[in-house]
Amino acid sequence: MYCSSCGSLIKDGQSFCANCGTPVSRPVQPAPQPTFQPAPQPVPQQTPVYQQSIPQPAIMQSQPVPNKTGSSANKVPTVSKVFGWISIIMSGLGIIGAVLMFIASAMPSGSSVLIQSEDAAKLTVLFIGMVLGWFVSFLGGVAGLISLITMLVKKNKSKIWLPITGLAAGVFAFFAATIAMVGSFG
100 assigned to some structural domain: yes
118 assigned to some structural domain: yes
- 132 vs 60: CA distance, rounded Å: 42
120 assigned to some structural domain: yes
Task: Tell me which amino acid residue 164 is.
Answer: I
> Of 79, 82, 184, nearest to 133 (Cα)?
184
pLDDT at 31: 57
14 assigned to some structural domain: no
25 assigned to some structural domain: no
151 assigned to some structural domain: yes
Buried b (16+ CB within 10 A) or exposed e, 139-154: bbbbbbbbbbebbeee
- The boundaries of the domain holding residue 98 are 78-185
Each residue's pLDDT tens digit, 52-73:
666 666 665 655 555 555 445 5
Is residue 75 packed enough to be buried (19+ CB in 10 Å), middle (13-18) or exposed (0-12)?
Answer: middle
pLDDT at 143: 86
pLDDT at 70: 47
pLDDT at 21: 84
Task: Tell me which amino acid residue 106 is.
Answer: A
**pLDDT < 50 stretches in the chain:** 70-71
- For the entire predicted model, the pTM comes to 0.49
45 assigned to some structural domain: no
23 assigned to some structural domain: no
pLDDT at 90: 86
- 21 vs 42: CA distance, rounded Å: 58
User: How many distinct structural domains can be found in the chain?
Assistant: 1
pLDDT at 85: 85
